[in-house]
């Protein structure tokens, strides 16, 4: 319970300090974490898993529980405070410690991350609605380069957030959100195979699952 509150307090502090990249007032609920990890839960063989924007580890907690002994796990997080919290969890938390020898936390923006080998699963918590459309296009380009053929990208977005934000935005903001919609719909139209609705989260969210064609 103490850790739960500690994580929420730190998350909120980072939201106030770095609204643009933190993008949420609280970590994801366990229901959202479960929906994001669902394709990974069904996997059979050894897999390479990448989590992008793990924050305090709300989704990571689910991922480490479903990883199999042969799986390899990388995490890419921009914020050094969150990186420190995650590294502590890989030492102190029993679920995290179980996979610590196969997990690595990288502190950098995902658009600058490179890997020699592709990933079978990418689980992403980035707040795309706060980003410029060109950056979102760049990040999706990076994801589809990092994915193995047949690999799955799962990410979430808050329900109806873009139309709602358009109502309270100025003209420039509305144009940015419309361009963002075009970028996301482009990828969703070509690659989405499932969308989950998660109501028990603040705010409620959709989880989008996309597959890179094999």
Ligand X SMILES: C[S@@+](CC[C@H](N)C(=O)[O-])C[C@H]1O[C@@H](n2cnc3c(N)ncnc32)[C@H](O)[C@@H]1O
Using CB under 6 A as the criterion, which residues of the chain lie in contact with ligand X when the complex forms? 21-24, 27-28, 52-55, 58-59, 76-79, 82, 109-111, 125-127
| CA proximity to 120, closest of 201, 51, 18, 28 | 51
Smallest distance, Å, CB 6 to ligand X?
14
Nearer to ligand X among residue 84 and residue 109 (C-beta) = 109
User: Distance (Å, rounded) from C-alpha 82 to C-alpha 202?
Assistant: 20
Which helix or strand (DSSP H or E) is residue 186 part of? helix 171-191
Nearer to ligand X among residue 105 and residue 214 (C-beta) = 105
Nearer to ligand X among residue 79 and residue 149 (C-beta) = 79
User: Distance (Å, rounded) from C-alpha 66 to C-alpha 35?
Assistant: 13
Give whole-number Cα distances, 203 to 47, 64, 113, 214, in Å. 31, 24, 29, 34
Smallest distance, Å, CB 213 to ligand X?
25
User: Distance (Å, rounded) from C-alpha 191 to C-alpha 88?
Assistant: 36
Smallest distance, Å, CB 214 to ligand X?
26
Give whole-number Cα distances, 96 to 22, 103, 153, in Å. 23, 9, 22
Nearer to ligand X among residue 52 and residue 184 (C-beta) = 52
Smallest distance, Å, CB 76 to ligand X?
5
Nearer to ligand X among residue 45 and residue 138 (C-beta) = 138
Smallest distance, Å, CB 189 to ligand X?
24
């Amino acid at each position: 319970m103490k850790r739960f509150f500690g994580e929420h307090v730190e998350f909120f502090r980072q939201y106030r300090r770095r609204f643009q990249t933190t993008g949420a007032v609280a970590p994801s609920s366990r229901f959202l974490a479960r929906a994001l990890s669902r394709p990974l839960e069904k996997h059979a063989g050894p897999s390479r898993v990448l989590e992008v924007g793990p924050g305090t580890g709300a989704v990571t907690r689910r991922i480490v529980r479903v990883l199999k002994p042969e799986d390899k796990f990388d995490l890419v997080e921009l914020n050094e405070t969150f990186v420190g919290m995650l590294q502590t969890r890989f030492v102190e938390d029993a679920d995290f410690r179980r996979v610590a020898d196969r997990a690595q936390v990288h502190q950098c923006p995902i658009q600058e991350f490179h890997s020699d080998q592709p990933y079978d699963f990418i689980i992403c918590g980035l707040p795309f609605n706060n980003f410029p459309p060109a950056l979102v296009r760049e990040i999706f380009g990076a994801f589809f380069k990092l994915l193995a053929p047949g690999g799955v990208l799962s990410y979430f977005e808050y329900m109806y957030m873009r139309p709602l934000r358009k109502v309270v935005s100025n003209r420039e903001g509305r144009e940015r959100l419309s361009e963002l919609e075009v970028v996301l719909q482009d990828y969703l139209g070509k690659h989405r195979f499932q969308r989950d609705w998660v109501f028990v989260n603040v705010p409620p969210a959709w989880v989008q699952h996309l597959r890179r064609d094999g």
